[in-house]
Structure 1
Protein backbone atom coordinates (compact mmCIF):
# COMPACT_ATOMS: atom_id res chain seq x y z
CA UNK A 1 0.00 0.00 0.00
CA UNK A 2 1.21 3.51 -0.80
CA UNK A 3 1.96 5.44 2.38
CA UNK A 4 0.53 8.77 1.23
CA UNK A 5 -3.08 7.54 1.26
CA UNK A 6 -2.59 5.70 4.53
CA UNK A 7 -0.89 8.70 6.14
CA UNK A 8 -3.79 10.96 5.12
CA UNK A 9 -6.28 8.50 6.62
CA UNK A 10 -4.32 8.16 9.86
CA UNK A 11 -3.82 11.94 10.14
CA UNK A 12 -7.56 12.49 9.81
CA UNK A 13 -8.31 9.99 12.57
CA UNK A 14 -5.79 11.61 14.90
CA UNK A 15 -7.28 15.05 14.18
CA UNK A 16 -10.76 13.77 15.04
CA UNK A 17 -9.52 12.14 18.27
CA UNK A 18 -7.79 15.36 19.35
CA UNK A 19 -10.96 17.33 18.58
CA UNK A 20 -13.10 14.94 20.61
CA UNK A 21 -10.52 15.08 23.39
CA UNK A 22 -10.69 18.87 23.69
CA UNK A 23 -14.48 18.87 23.46
CA UNK A 24 -14.60 16.66 26.55
CA UNK A 25 -13.06 19.43 28.69
CA UNK A 26 -15.87 21.07 30.67
CA UNK A 27 -16.26 24.81 31.06
CA UNK A 28 -15.36 26.32 34.45
CA UNK A 29 -18.33 26.56 36.84
CA UNK A 30 -17.80 30.31 37.18
CA UNK A 31 -15.90 32.99 35.24
CA UNK A 32 -13.12 33.17 37.82
CA UNK A 33 -9.48 32.08 37.90
CA UNK A 34 -10.26 29.79 40.85
CA UNK A 35 -12.96 27.97 38.89
CA UNK A 36 -10.54 27.58 35.99
CA UNK A 37 -7.83 26.22 38.28
CA UNK A 38 -10.25 23.63 39.68
CA UNK A 39 -9.96 21.94 36.28
CA UNK A 40 -6.20 21.40 36.66
CA UNK A 41 -6.35 17.59 36.61
CA UNK A 42 -8.49 17.70 33.46
CA UNK A 43 -6.01 19.97 31.70
CA UNK A 44 -3.07 17.81 32.80
CA UNK A 45 -4.82 14.65 31.54
CA UNK A 46 -5.59 16.46 28.27
CA UNK A 47 -1.94 17.52 27.95
CA UNK A 48 -0.71 13.96 28.46
CA UNK A 49 -3.15 12.52 25.92
CA UNK A 50 -2.48 15.32 23.43
CA UNK A 51 1.28 14.78 23.68
CA UNK A 52 0.84 11.06 23.03
CA UNK A 53 -1.31 11.70 19.96
CA UNK A 54 0.97 14.44 18.69
CA UNK A 55 4.04 12.26 19.18
CA UNK A 56 2.41 9.40 17.27
CA UNK A 57 1.55 11.78 14.44
CA UNK A 58 5.01 13.37 14.38
CA UNK A 59 6.86 10.04 14.49
CA UNK A 60 4.69 8.59 11.72
CA UNK A 61 5.01 11.72 9.62
CA UNK A 62 8.81 11.46 9.80
CA UNK A 63 8.70 7.73 9.19
CA UNK A 64 6.41 8.00 6.15
CA UNK A 65 8.67 10.67 4.61
CA UNK A 66 11.31 7.99 4.03
CA UNK A 67 9.04 5.00 3.36
CA UNK A 68 7.03 4.66 0.15
CA UNK A 69 5.08 1.47 0.82
CA UNK A 70 3.82 -0.53 3.75
CA UNK A 71 2.56 -4.09 3.87
CA UNK A 72 -0.71 -5.51 5.19
CA UNK A 73 0.83 -6.40 8.55
CA UNK A 74 1.64 -2.73 9.13
CA UNK A 75 -1.88 -1.71 8.11
CA UNK A 76 -3.44 -4.20 10.54
CA UNK A 77 -1.20 -3.11 13.39
CA UNK A 78 -2.01 0.54 12.69
CA UNK A 79 -5.69 -0.38 12.53
CA UNK A 80 -5.47 -1.97 15.96
CA UNK A 81 -3.57 1.05 17.29
CA UNK A 82 -6.26 3.32 15.83
CA UNK A 83 -8.92 1.38 17.72
CA UNK A 84 -6.96 1.71 20.96
CA UNK A 85 -6.26 5.43 20.65
CA UNK A 86 -9.89 6.20 19.81
CA UNK A 87 -10.58 5.12 23.41
CA UNK A 88 -8.20 7.78 24.70
CA UNK A 89 -10.77 10.59 25.15
CA UNK A 90 -12.97 8.32 27.27
CA UNK A 91 -10.17 7.22 29.59
CA UNK A 92 -8.65 10.71 29.70
CA UNK A 93 -11.81 12.20 31.16
CA UNK A 94 -12.24 9.24 33.51
CA UNK A 95 -8.74 9.71 34.95
CA UNK A 96 -9.15 13.50 35.03
CA UNK A 97 -12.28 13.19 37.14
CA UNK A 98 -10.95 10.37 39.34
CA UNK A 99 -7.19 10.81 39.76
CA UNK A 100 -7.27 8.77 43.00
CA UNK A 101 -9.17 5.83 41.50
CA UNK A 102 -7.14 2.68 40.94
CA UNK A 103 -9.43 1.40 38.12
CA UNK A 104 -9.19 4.77 36.30
CA UNK A 105 -5.42 4.83 36.81
CA UNK A 106 -5.11 1.25 35.58
CA UNK A 107 -7.11 1.80 32.39
CA UNK A 108 -5.28 5.04 31.59
CA UNK A 109 -1.94 3.27 32.02
CA UNK A 110 -3.03 0.24 30.00
CA UNK A 111 -4.05 2.47 27.08
CA UNK A 112 -0.56 3.95 27.08
CA UNK A 113 1.20 0.61 27.38
CA UNK A 114 -0.84 -0.94 24.56
CA UNK A 115 -0.34 2.16 22.38
CA UNK A 116 3.41 2.06 22.97
CA UNK A 117 3.61 -1.65 22.18
CA UNK A 118 1.52 -1.26 19.01
CA UNK A 119 3.61 1.70 17.89
CA UNK A 120 6.80 -0.34 18.32
CA UNK A 121 5.25 -3.29 16.47
CA UNK A 122 4.07 -1.03 13.62
CA UNK A 123 7.53 0.49 13.28
CA UNK A 124 9.13 -2.97 13.22
CA UNK A 125 6.61 -4.13 10.60
CA UNK A 126 7.50 -1.14 8.44
CA UNK A 127 11.20 -2.01 8.82
CA UNK A 128 10.49 -5.58 7.71
CA UNK A 129 8.47 -4.44 4.70
CA UNK A 130 11.27 -2.10 3.55
CA UNK A 131 14.41 -4.23 3.89
CA UNK A 132 16.48 -2.20 1.42
CA UNK A 133 15.66 1.27 2.71
CA UNK A 134 19.04 2.43 4.04
CA UNK A 135 17.69 5.75 5.37
CA UNK A 136 15.15 3.84 7.47
CA UNK A 137 17.81 1.60 9.00
CA UNK A 138 20.01 4.58 9.85
CA UNK A 139 17.29 5.82 12.22
CA UNK A 140 17.72 2.67 14.35
CA UNK A 141 14.48 2.71 16.34
CA UNK A 142 15.58 -0.60 17.89
CA UNK A 143 17.67 1.31 20.41
CA UNK A 144 17.27 0.04 23.97
CA UNK A 145 16.53 3.65 25.00
CA UNK A 146 13.08 3.29 23.46
CA UNK A 147 12.12 0.85 26.25
CA UNK A 148 12.67 3.55 28.90
CA UNK A 149 9.09 4.95 28.68
CA UNK A 150 7.71 1.43 29.19
CA UNK A 151 9.89 0.94 32.26
CA UNK A 152 8.61 4.22 33.71
CA UNK A 153 5.01 3.12 33.08
CA UNK A 154 5.66 -0.14 34.91
CA UNK A 155 7.14 1.82 37.83
CA UNK A 156 3.93 3.90 37.79
CA UNK A 157 1.85 0.74 38.11
CA UNK A 158 3.95 -0.42 41.05
CA UNK A 159 3.51 2.98 42.73
CA UNK A 160 -0.25 3.00 42.14
CA UNK A 161 -0.73 -0.45 43.62
CA UNK A 162 1.54 0.15 46.61
CA UNK A 163 2.03 3.67 47.96
CA UNK A 164 0.84 6.43 45.59
CA UNK A 165 -2.44 6.01 43.69
CA UNK A 166 -1.77 8.69 41.01
CA UNK A 167 1.53 6.95 40.18
CA UNK A 168 0.33 5.83 36.75
CA UNK A 169 -0.93 9.32 35.93
CA UNK A 170 2.44 10.86 36.81
CA UNK A 171 4.39 8.10 35.06
CA UNK A 172 2.34 8.63 31.88
CA UNK A 173 3.39 12.28 31.84
CA UNK A 174 7.05 11.44 32.43
CA UNK A 175 7.08 8.61 29.89
CA UNK A 176 5.42 10.63 27.12
CA UNK A 177 7.94 13.44 27.60
CA UNK A 178 10.76 10.86 27.47
CA UNK A 179 9.17 9.24 24.41
CA UNK A 180 9.26 12.61 22.62
CA UNK A 181 12.81 13.49 23.73
CA UNK A 182 14.23 10.06 22.89
CA UNK A 183 12.51 10.04 19.51
CA UNK A 184 14.00 13.43 18.67
CA UNK A 185 17.47 12.37 19.81
CA UNK A 186 17.36 9.17 17.77
CA UNK A 187 16.14 11.05 14.67
CA UNK A 188 18.92 13.61 15.06
CA UNK A 189 21.51 10.88 15.43
CA UNK A 190 20.08 9.08 12.40
CA UNK A 191 20.09 12.26 10.32
CA UNK A 192 23.68 13.08 11.21
CA UNK A 193 22.70 15.96 13.54
CA UNK A 194 20.96 17.90 10.78
Structure 2
Protein backbone atom coordinates (compact mmCIF):
# COMPACT_ATOMS: atom_id res chain seq x y z
CA UNK A 1 0.00 0.00 0.00
CA UNK A 2 1.24 3.50 -0.76
CA UNK A 3 2.14 5.43 2.35
CA UNK A 4 0.55 8.69 1.15
CA UNK A 5 -2.97 7.27 1.25
CA UNK A 6 -2.37 5.40 4.48
CA UNK A 7 -0.73 8.40 6.17
CA UNK A 8 -3.70 10.60 5.25
CA UNK A 9 -6.11 8.02 6.69
CA UNK A 10 -4.10 7.61 9.89
CA UNK A 11 -3.73 11.39 10.30
CA UNK A 12 -7.50 11.78 10.04
CA UNK A 13 -8.10 9.09 12.68
CA UNK A 14 -5.72 10.77 15.12
CA UNK A 15 -7.32 14.19 14.48
CA UNK A 16 -10.76 12.74 15.19
CA UNK A 17 -9.58 11.05 18.40
CA UNK A 18 -7.97 14.29 19.63
CA UNK A 19 -11.20 16.16 18.85
CA UNK A 20 -13.31 13.62 20.76
CA UNK A 21 -10.81 13.74 23.61
CA UNK A 22 -11.06 17.51 24.05
CA UNK A 23 -14.85 17.42 23.76
CA UNK A 24 -14.97 15.02 26.72
CA UNK A 25 -13.54 17.68 29.05
CA UNK A 26 -16.44 19.30 30.90
CA UNK A 27 -16.85 23.04 31.32
CA UNK A 28 -15.84 24.46 34.72
CA UNK A 29 -18.74 24.63 37.18
CA UNK A 30 -17.97 28.29 37.84
CA UNK A 31 -16.28 30.87 35.58
CA UNK A 32 -13.42 31.33 38.05
CA UNK A 33 -9.86 30.18 38.45
CA UNK A 34 -11.06 27.84 41.21
CA UNK A 35 -13.59 26.34 38.77
CA UNK A 36 -10.83 25.73 36.26
CA UNK A 37 -8.53 24.24 38.88
CA UNK A 38 -11.23 21.74 39.90
CA UNK A 39 -10.66 20.13 36.51
CA UNK A 40 -6.89 19.75 36.90
CA UNK A 41 -6.98 15.96 36.56
CA UNK A 42 -9.02 16.35 33.35
CA UNK A 43 -6.43 18.70 31.90
CA UNK A 44 -3.58 16.41 32.94
CA UNK A 45 -5.31 13.38 31.42
CA UNK A 46 -5.89 15.32 28.22
CA UNK A 47 -2.24 16.40 28.15
CA UNK A 48 -0.99 12.83 28.57
CA UNK A 49 -3.33 11.44 25.90
CA UNK A 50 -2.66 14.33 23.52
CA UNK A 51 1.10 13.80 23.85
CA UNK A 52 0.67 10.08 23.17
CA UNK A 53 -1.33 10.78 20.01
CA UNK A 54 0.95 13.60 18.89
CA UNK A 55 4.05 11.44 19.34
CA UNK A 56 2.50 8.61 17.34
CA UNK A 57 1.56 11.04 14.58
CA UNK A 58 4.98 12.70 14.52
CA UNK A 59 6.90 9.39 14.56
CA UNK A 60 4.77 8.01 11.73
CA UNK A 61 5.15 11.22 9.75
CA UNK A 62 8.95 10.93 10.00
CA UNK A 63 8.86 7.22 9.19
CA UNK A 64 6.58 7.62 6.17
CA UNK A 65 8.86 10.31 4.75
CA UNK A 66 11.49 7.60 4.32
CA UNK A 67 9.35 4.90 2.69
CA UNK A 68 6.99 4.75 -0.27
CA UNK A 69 5.11 1.56 0.58
CA UNK A 70 4.13 -0.55 3.56
CA UNK A 71 3.02 -4.17 3.56
CA UNK A 72 -0.27 -5.70 4.69
CA UNK A 73 1.15 -6.85 8.02
CA UNK A 74 2.06 -3.25 8.90
CA UNK A 75 -1.42 -2.12 7.84
CA UNK A 76 -2.99 -4.71 10.15
CA UNK A 77 -0.78 -3.65 13.06
CA UNK A 78 -1.76 -0.03 12.44
CA UNK A 79 -5.39 -1.16 12.31
CA UNK A 80 -5.12 -2.73 15.75
CA UNK A 81 -3.30 0.38 16.99
CA UNK A 82 -6.13 2.54 15.62
CA UNK A 83 -8.60 0.47 17.64
CA UNK A 84 -6.51 0.80 20.80
CA UNK A 85 -5.94 4.56 20.50
CA UNK A 86 -9.63 5.09 19.74
CA UNK A 87 -10.24 3.94 23.33
CA UNK A 88 -8.06 6.75 24.71
CA UNK A 89 -10.89 9.29 25.21
CA UNK A 90 -12.96 6.79 27.21
CA UNK A 91 -10.14 5.68 29.50
CA UNK A 92 -8.67 9.17 29.81
CA UNK A 93 -11.92 10.53 31.22
CA UNK A 94 -12.38 7.47 33.43
CA UNK A 95 -8.93 7.86 35.01
CA UNK A 96 -9.29 11.66 35.26
CA UNK A 97 -12.47 11.23 37.30
CA UNK A 98 -10.99 8.35 39.31
CA UNK A 99 -7.26 8.93 39.83
CA UNK A 100 -7.41 6.83 43.01
CA UNK A 101 -9.05 3.86 41.31
CA UNK A 102 -6.81 0.88 40.62
CA UNK A 103 -9.01 -0.41 37.73
CA UNK A 104 -9.07 3.04 36.06
CA UNK A 105 -5.32 3.43 36.49
CA UNK A 106 -4.72 -0.08 35.19
CA UNK A 107 -6.77 0.38 32.03
CA UNK A 108 -5.18 3.74 31.28
CA UNK A 109 -1.72 2.21 31.72
CA UNK A 110 -2.60 -0.81 29.59
CA UNK A 111 -3.75 1.45 26.74
CA UNK A 112 -0.41 3.24 26.93
CA UNK A 113 1.57 -0.03 27.01
CA UNK A 114 -0.39 -1.51 24.10
CA UNK A 115 0.11 1.68 22.10
CA UNK A 116 3.84 1.61 22.74
CA UNK A 117 4.13 -2.07 21.80
CA UNK A 118 2.03 -1.65 18.64
CA UNK A 119 4.02 1.41 17.57
CA UNK A 120 7.23 -0.57 18.01
CA UNK A 121 5.85 -3.57 16.09
CA UNK A 122 4.56 -1.37 13.26
CA UNK A 123 7.94 0.36 12.95
CA UNK A 124 9.76 -2.98 12.88
CA UNK A 125 7.37 -4.23 10.20
CA UNK A 126 7.95 -1.13 8.06
CA UNK A 127 11.70 -1.74 8.37
CA UNK A 128 11.25 -5.38 7.31
CA UNK A 129 9.13 -4.36 4.33
CA UNK A 130 11.85 -1.98 3.10
CA UNK A 131 15.13 -3.91 3.49
CA UNK A 132 16.91 -2.05 0.67
CA UNK A 133 15.87 1.46 1.67
CA UNK A 134 19.18 3.09 2.56
CA UNK A 135 17.61 6.18 4.19
CA UNK A 136 15.46 4.00 6.43
CA UNK A 137 18.30 1.69 7.40
CA UNK A 138 20.47 4.66 8.41
CA UNK A 139 17.93 5.73 11.01
CA UNK A 140 18.12 4.46 14.54
CA UNK A 141 14.40 4.20 15.29
CA UNK A 142 14.70 0.63 16.56
CA UNK A 143 17.04 1.66 19.37
CA UNK A 144 16.61 -0.15 22.67
CA UNK A 145 16.39 3.29 24.30
CA UNK A 146 12.82 3.45 22.99
CA UNK A 147 11.90 0.79 25.58
CA UNK A 148 12.85 3.00 28.56
CA UNK A 149 9.28 4.41 28.83
CA UNK A 150 7.95 0.86 29.04
CA UNK A 151 10.24 0.12 31.99
CA UNK A 152 9.05 3.31 33.68
CA UNK A 153 5.43 2.25 33.17
CA UNK A 154 6.10 -1.09 34.80
CA UNK A 155 7.41 0.85 37.80
CA UNK A 156 4.13 2.82 37.71
CA UNK A 157 2.15 -0.42 37.87
CA UNK A 158 4.20 -1.56 40.86
CA UNK A 159 3.55 1.78 42.59
CA UNK A 160 -0.19 1.62 41.84
CA UNK A 161 -0.54 -1.90 43.18
CA UNK A 162 1.55 -1.28 46.30
CA UNK A 163 1.81 2.23 47.77
CA UNK A 164 0.61 4.99 45.43
CA UNK A 165 -2.58 4.42 43.41
CA UNK A 166 -2.03 7.28 40.90
CA UNK A 167 1.41 5.80 40.10
CA UNK A 168 0.40 4.73 36.60
CA UNK A 169 -1.13 8.12 35.84
CA UNK A 170 2.05 9.93 36.90
CA UNK A 171 4.43 7.53 35.16
CA UNK A 172 2.36 7.77 31.96
CA UNK A 173 3.10 11.49 31.87
CA UNK A 174 6.79 10.98 32.59
CA UNK A 175 6.95 8.09 30.09
CA UNK A 176 5.42 10.01 27.21
CA UNK A 177 7.76 12.95 27.80
CA UNK A 178 10.68 10.50 27.93
CA UNK A 179 9.42 8.76 24.76
CA UNK A 180 9.33 12.10 22.92
CA UNK A 181 12.78 13.16 24.18
CA UNK A 182 14.38 9.84 23.26
CA UNK A 183 12.86 9.94 19.77
CA UNK A 184 14.14 13.50 19.24
CA UNK A 185 17.57 12.53 20.58
CA UNK A 186 17.78 9.54 18.23
CA UNK A 187 16.57 11.66 15.32
CA UNK A 188 19.25 14.25 16.18
CA UNK A 189 21.93 11.53 16.11
CA UNK A 190 20.79 10.53 12.63
CA UNK A 191 20.79 14.04 11.19
CA UNK A 192 24.51 14.33 11.90
CA UNK A 193 25.32 11.39 9.58
Both proteins in one fold, TM over 0.5: yes
Tell me what 2:35 maps to: 35
**Structure 1 moving runs of 4+ over 3 Å:** none
Matches within 5 A, 1:33-112: 33-112=33-112
For 2:111, what is the secondary structure of its paired residue?
Answer: helix
Gaps of 5+ in 1: none
Q: CA deviation at 1:142?
A: 2.0
Q: CA deviation at 1:106?
A: 0.1
Query: C-alpha offsets along residues 32-70 of structure 1, whole Å, 9 cap, x if unaligned?
Result: 110110000000000000000000000000110111000
TM-score for both structures, normalised by structure 2: 0.99
The alignment status of 1:178 with 2:178, answered yes or no, reads: yes
TM-score for both structures, normalised by structure 1: 0.98
For 1:141, what is the secondary structure of its paired residue?
Answer: coil
For 1:96 and 1:137, the matched residues in 2 are separated by 40
For 1:77 and 1:140, the matched residues in 2 are separated by 21
For 2:158 and 2:187, the matched residues in 1 are separated by 31
Gaps of 5+ in 2: none
Q: CA deviation at 1:10?
A: 0.2
For 2:26, what is the secondary structure of its paired residue?
Answer: coil
For 2:164, what is the secondary structure of its paired residue?
Answer: coil
For 1:26 and 1:139, the matched residues in 2 are separated by 42
